[in-house]
């Protein structure tokens, strides 16, 4: 399965992908980012692991379609939002990071509302990638931004949740979109290493599992005139082994 075949199957017009774990499970490199764009990804979002590969930092400044969370402190390389034009429709994307069990950044609620209002001046269609640990924090942001954005989609925990819904004011919500990577193991990593880490409390380096993979995502249908979500559907496809 390729991204192009999945887009054709789902009739997707715009593709947003979180790429912070693309480099063997930790970080993103310029070459991998270029490959994602060439494959059909329109915007790459990220999170706390985007800083792991230092070579990506210049690209955070120069590539408008590569985002890091907007609520990092002022002066940090990169930017947290962009607007792309797809088939004559302006699509805005905003990247935020949570604070529960994560770094203490600027408030994603206040920063999110501020930038949602700014971006809505450019586009009615606005999708938020909320990279956060806590389902409580993710649900709270969904409700806080209901009506201000088209969708709040959670990333970070690698496990796709089954709580998709459209809120009363038209904002679609899913607390975690899930991962694209090995379906077995522990959140895509080799099981034996994760088990040893738990048993010994020694922080052994995690390694990506090499079994069959799964592509996880969410398909949003959005009214381009109002910015309200019309449907939200989870996507999960098995990827056959290479060869």
pTM for the structure as a whole: 0.92
Q: What pLDDT shows up at residue 47?
A: 96
Indicate the domain borders of the chain: 3-181+214-223
CA-CA distances (angstroms) from residue 180 to 9, 19, 41, 202?
A: 17, 10, 14, 27
Query: 158 catalytic, yes or no?
Result: no
pLDDT at residue number 182: 82
pLDDT of 150 reads: 98
Please tell me the predicted confidence (pLDDT) of residue 243. Answer: 42
Per-residue pLDDT in tens (0 to 9) along the chain, 243 residues: 788 889 899 999 999 999 999 998 889 999 999 999 999 999 999 999 999 999 999 999 999 999 999 999 999 999 999 999 999 999 999 999 999 999 899 999 999 999 999 999 989 999 999 999 999 999 999 999 999 999 999 999 989 999 999 999 999 999 999 988 888 787 777 888 888 888 999 888 887 877 778 899 999 999 999 999 999 999 998 876 544
Q: What CATH class is the domain 3-181+214-223?
A: alpha beta
Spatial distance between the Cα atoms of 182 and 36, rounded to a whole number of angstroms: 18
| 106 token code pair | 């600027």
CB 93 within 8 A of CB 130: no
Alpha carbon 197 to its chain's center = 27
| Rg, C-alpha atoms of the chain | 17
Q: Is the dihedral of CA 196, 158, 40, 71 positive or negative?
A: negative
């Amino acid at each position: 399965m390729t991204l192009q075949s999945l887009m054709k199957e789902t009739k997707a017009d715009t593709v947003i992908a979180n790429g912070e774990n693309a480099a063997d499970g930790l970080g993103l490199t310029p070459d991998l980012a270029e490959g994602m764009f060439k494959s059909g990804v329109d915007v790459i979002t990220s999170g706390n692991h985007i800083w792991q590969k230092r070579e990506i930092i210049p690209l955070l400044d120069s590539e408008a379609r590569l985002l890091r969370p907007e609520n990092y402190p002022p002066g940090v390389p990169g930017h947290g939002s962009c607007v792309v034009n797809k088939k004559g429709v302006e699509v805005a994307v905003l990247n935020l990071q949570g604070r529960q069990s994560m770094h203490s950044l600027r408030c994603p609620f206040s920063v999110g509302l501020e930038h949602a209002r700014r971006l809505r001046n450019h586009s009615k269609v606005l999708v938020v990638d909320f990279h956060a640990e806590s389902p409580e924090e993710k649900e709270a942001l969904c409700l806080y931004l209901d009506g201000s954005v088209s969708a709040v989609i959670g990333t970070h925990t690698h496990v796709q949740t089954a709580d998709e819904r459209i809120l009363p004011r038209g904002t679609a919500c899913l607390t975690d979109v899930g991962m694209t990577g090995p379906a077995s193991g522990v959140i895509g990593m080799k099981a034996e290493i994760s088990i040893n880490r738990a048993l010994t409390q020694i922080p052994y380096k995690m390694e990506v599992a090499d079994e069959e993979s799964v592509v996880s995502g969410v398909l949003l249908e959005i009214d381009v005139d109002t910015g309200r979500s019309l449907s939200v559907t989870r996507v999960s496809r098995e990827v056959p082994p290479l060869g």
